[in-house]
Structure 1
Amino acid sequence: MTESSVHPALWPAPLASGAVDATVTVPGSKSVTNRALVLAALSSEPGWLRRPLRSRDTLLMADALRAMGVRIEETVSSSSSATGAEAAGEAWRVIPAPLHGPVTVDVGNAGTVMRFLPPVATLADGPVRFDGDPRSYERPLTGVIEALRVLGARIDDDSRGSLPMTVHGGGALDGGPVAIDASSSSQFVSALLLSAPRFNQGVEVRHTGDRLPSMPHIRMTVDMLRAVGAQVDEPETGGEPNVWRVSPSALLGRDLTIEPDLSNAQPFLAAALVTGGRVTIPDWPSRTTQPGDALRDIFTAMGGSCELTEQGLTFTGSGRVHGIDVDLSEVGELTPGIAAVAALADSPSTLSGVAHLRLHETDRLAALTKEINELGGDVTETADGLHIRPRPLHGGTFHTYDDHRMATAGSVIGLAVPGVEIENVATTAKTLPDFPQMWTGMLGA
């Protein structure tokens, strides 16, 4: 059975018949899974990843590391009731090995793969070519390419500063100090830090640009490096502002259980808010560096309430949705879902600090503006975000531009607006493979 026969080109977004009341188990975090794969591949001993996310982005990462010589063995769950990550790959055993070329890596449209793996490839013995979806050619990569050249790497990109390109691995990299402008993506910093313990001199990364977006993702990288034995100096622990230093060292193999993806919990929490219902997400961590944790405060300000217990997070809608004025610079990936909720609110919203979203899977600011407005909304782009004035919406096609968060945002609107059809809902497989089934399951269908 083909993907298109399971999820037709236009998917009728289910309309909520009343307040939702559901428990939704969200698969593992993409951001944590892909960082953990890189660190495990560079470790000095085998490690385990338990409850990893199994999605397009994480499989691209795993397949790329396998191509370079790393062994990743999947243990399949025997539970017939398990879904998603638990059904297809309950645990991954990662066994490091000498990295080699020549190989070609398919990055798809995964920012973590196209940015995290070129530094890894410098440690391979032989050339590693990187290629991907057409959109990947348009996404910023110059910061990583130029930084690696300063650190001693040889890279052929035909002076594009983007994919496709070839990293000529020499089995090692000098490393040392480097200055980069990471204002277009925090992944530039994370990419260099993740491989830095294996560089001969480690690395000192100095951000020289404007405000750095998505800082929680850099904190995640630092925390995960420290958990496998790396020594990291960072601004938030008394270090120099906008400078990160990682010392050369061996990395330890770990047994890591991947947290649920809190950003992927967003549409389900939004469903509680929009319908005045209640949704529980099991295993919500009490402490995390995931940006999605900010949803507790943001959605509470928009009209809900939440309770965090040992069982997880329970979010309850009040039956009313309020507009919000919020700076999302640290949690930009949450913007599509927040915009969808804001379009259904009782007052205007201003979402700011997210100019960098124009360079994500698609230009998310332009896409949200166009798609919400074509359903009757009133959204305007600002220099660094969106201004949303709620209006009565009507049905129509909500295009996704091969962007998983556009698909889930359209589905949230479809809960309250009859006749919304999501174009290519299958794009949610990038990070949430079972989304259509999870969505209809939440509604009791």
Structure 2
Amino acid sequence: MTAPLPWLAPHRDTPFSGEVLVPGSKSLTNRVLILAALGDGPSVVTRPLGSRDTNLMAAALTTLGTTIERDGMTWTVTPPSSTSDAPATVDCGLAGTVMRFVPLLAALGHAPVTFDGDEHARVRPMATTIATLRSLGVEVDDGGRGSLPFTVHGTGHVAGGTVEIDASSSSQFVSALLLVGARFGQGLDLRHTGTTLPSMPHIEMTVAELRRRGVRIDTDEPDRWVVHPGTIDALDVEIEPDLSNAGVFIAGALVTGGDVRIRNWPADTDQAGDAWRDIVPAFGGTVRQDGDDLLFAAGPELTGVDLDLHDVGELTPVIAAMAALATTPSRLTGVAHLRGHETDRLAALVTEINRLGGDAEELEDGLLVRPRPLHADTFRTYDDHRMAHAGVVIALKVPDLYVENVVTTIKTYPNFAAVWERLMTR
């Protein structure tokens, strides 16, 4: 397939001021779909995100026998009434939640299920998933690669019990087990053995969604989760707006000296993107509640930051873009695990910022960004939606900047480029 031409991203000489209602959360949508597929009856999901990642999840669950009926912004999810023993194939695309969550579901079935994805997906860390399945007694054929493609040979039953994993490279390894633990014969006693555990808000989101569906889960000890065996209740839910995707619009307001209203910001949420409440003041901006909305506004200048982003690593590309446009240096730490995301995000950010004349360098666990005058070029995205977001933020202050393959944003935000262009050029 021919790659799309680089996109001339909007540039602004005036402050951006507007309001945005972002689509539903990808992280929440895909967790809800998994739990609905494991539930004890049909569940209705309202305002789910309809993006590449969620469509891949829906297709994967359908492959495993789940029925998903779509009626506009309402999806009705009905768990399988029986399992097939016919071989099947799941396309993971570049979706970490699909490649790490769905193999555990496949282990509960009777069919051999092969998982594969995009070219970049074949270099994402999967050895922990494969080793975990084998420790649970599930046969996995990966040709010794420790990555996609691999085939899970389900037996229809997983005993469960005590499982030890090192999830230092991704919290998704923990969430994957928690989501299905109640369906294991003995439940799950999960223990993280690594020295660090990134993206805790995503694990807290998983735990909260399990408890909403009647699953007993003990979290009294650090790095240990005990999931009691039992049913997972069907539950009708409405999906929150994706606060991580809100970040690119917040950044657009701050780098141009403007303001933005993000509509329907949830008052209580486990989303990593809720950290924008604290990140914006760190850059010298302000945050104000107005009814159900949050108003973000730029301060007198965009100052550099010193932030530990360990729990909210997915926000790093947009924050790094802001740092490249700030008035003083920034240090972003706690995100060594980003080297194993859709691309090596630390290396990619350093390469692209420096290509434009910037001064960024990798740290052992993050980035150091020293502001420099930037010039036009093509900002490469490496098929990573968060890199595309970083590129369009920089383009607001750098004329004639092209962003390569901005279409990759369909991973979590359908029609992003059109929405961004409409808002930023009016």
The TM-score bracket by the shorter chain reads: over 0.9
Q: Which amino acid aligns with 1:362?
A: T
CA change 1:3–1:303 in 2 (3 A) is farther
Counterpart selection for 1:16 from 12, 16, 19: 12
Match of 1:255 among 212, 233, 236: 236
Cross-structure match for 1:172: 157
Q: Residue in 1 aligned with 2:369?
A: 388
Separation (CA, whole Å) in 2 of partners of 1:313 and 1:165? 44
Instruction: Please say which of residues 143-152 and 387-396 is displaced more in the overlay.
Output: 143-152
AA paired with 1:18?
Answer: T
Q: Which residue of 1 aligns with 2:213?
A: 228
* 1:204 aligns with one of 189, 192, 203: 189
Question: Do 2:56 and 2:98's aligned partners in 1 also have CA atoms closer than 8 Å?
Answer: yes
Shift of 1:308: 2.1
Contact 2:9 2:421 in 1 (8 A): no
On the 8 A contact 2:92/2:98 being kept in 1, the answer is yes
Post-superposition CA distance 1:309-339 (Å, at most 9, x none): 3331111112410100111110000000000
Find out whether 1:320 has 2:313 as its counterpart. Answer: no
2:328 maps to which of 347, 356, 361: 347
- Contact 1:70–1:99 under 8 Å retained in 2: no
Gap change, CA 1:99 and 1:24, over 3 Å in 2: farther
**Residues 218-244 of structure 1: CA distance to partner in whole angstroms, max 9, x if unpaired?**
00100011111111111xxxx122111
Letter in 2 for 1:324: V
SS state of the match for residue 375, structure 2? coil
Paired residue type of 1:259: E
Which residue in 2 is equivalent to 1:92? 75
CA-to-aligned-CA distance 1:75-101 (integer Å, 9 cap, x gap): 12xxxxxxxxxxxxx011001113434
Q: How does 1:250-329 map to 2 (within 5 A)?
A: 250-329=231-310
The answer as to whether partners of 2:10 and 2:425 remain within 8 angstroms in 1 is: no
Secondary structure of 2:90's partner? strand
Matches of 1:308 and 1:120, distance apart in 2: 41
Correspondent of 1:152 among 111, 114, 137: 137
Question: What corresponds to 1:133 in structure 2?
Answer: 118
Contact 1:9 1:425 in 2 (8 A): no
Deviates more, 1:152-161 or 1:110-119: 152-161
Aligned residue in 2 for 1:71:
67
Letter in 2 for 1:52: P
* 1:184 counterpart residue number: 169
Aligned to 1:57: 53
Q: Quick one: distance in 1 between partners of 2:248 and 2:333?
A: 20
Q: Which residue of 2 aligns with 1:338?
A: 319
Letter in 1 for 2:287: C
Percent of matched pairs sharing the same residue: 56
Moved more, 99-108 or 258-267: 99-108
Tell me which residue corresponds to 1:219.
204
Q: Which runs of 5+ in 2 are unaligned?
A: none
Instruction: Give per-residue Cα distances to partners, 1:344-385, cap 9 Å, x unaligned.
Output: 001000000111101100000000001011111000111111
Provide the residue aligned with 1:40 in structure 2: 36
Q: Number of residues paired by the alignment?
A: 424
Counterpart residue number, 1:118: 103
Q: Deviations over 1:275-311 (max 9, x none)?
A: 1111111110011110001011111110211112333
Contact 1:273 1:319 in 2 (8 A): no
Aligned twin of 1:83: none
Q: Distance in 1 between matches of 2:83 and 2:331?
A: 47
The C-alpha deviation readout for 1:2-34, integer Å capped at 9, x for no partner, is 997xxx511011011311111111000000000
Query: What residue is the counterpart of 1:367 in the other structure?
Result: 348
The CA distance in 2 between the partners of 1:175 and 1:441, in whole Å, is 51
State the distance in 2 between where 1:28 and 1:38 align.
Answer: 16
- The Cα RMSD (Å) is 1.2
Kept in 2: contact 1:24–1:438 (CA 8 A): no
Alpha-carbon distance in 1 for matches of 2:222, 2:52: 35
Q: Aligned partner of 1:21: which letter? A: S
Letter in 2 for 1:417: V
* Deviation of the 1:444 alpha carbon: 4.5
Q: Does the 8 Å CA contact 2:12/2:425 hold for their aligned counterparts?
A: no
The answer for the alignment partner of 2:383 in structure 1 is 402
For the Cα contact (< 8 Å) 1:144–1:192, is it kept in 2? no
- C-alpha displacement of 1:441: 2.1
Q: Does 1:443 find its partner at 2:424?
A: yes
- Per-residue Cα deviation, 1:247-293 (whole angstroms, up to 9, x for no partner): 11111111110000000001100011111111111110011110001
Q: For 2:311, what is the secondary structure of its paired residue? A: coil
The answer to whether the 8 Å contact 1:43/1:253 transfers is: yes
How far 1:208 sits from its partner (Å)?
0.5
Amino acid at match of 2:114: R
Following superposition, the deviation at residue 400 of structure 1 comes to: 0.2
Once the two structures are overlaid, the 10-residue window that deviates more, 258-267 or 142-151, is 142-151
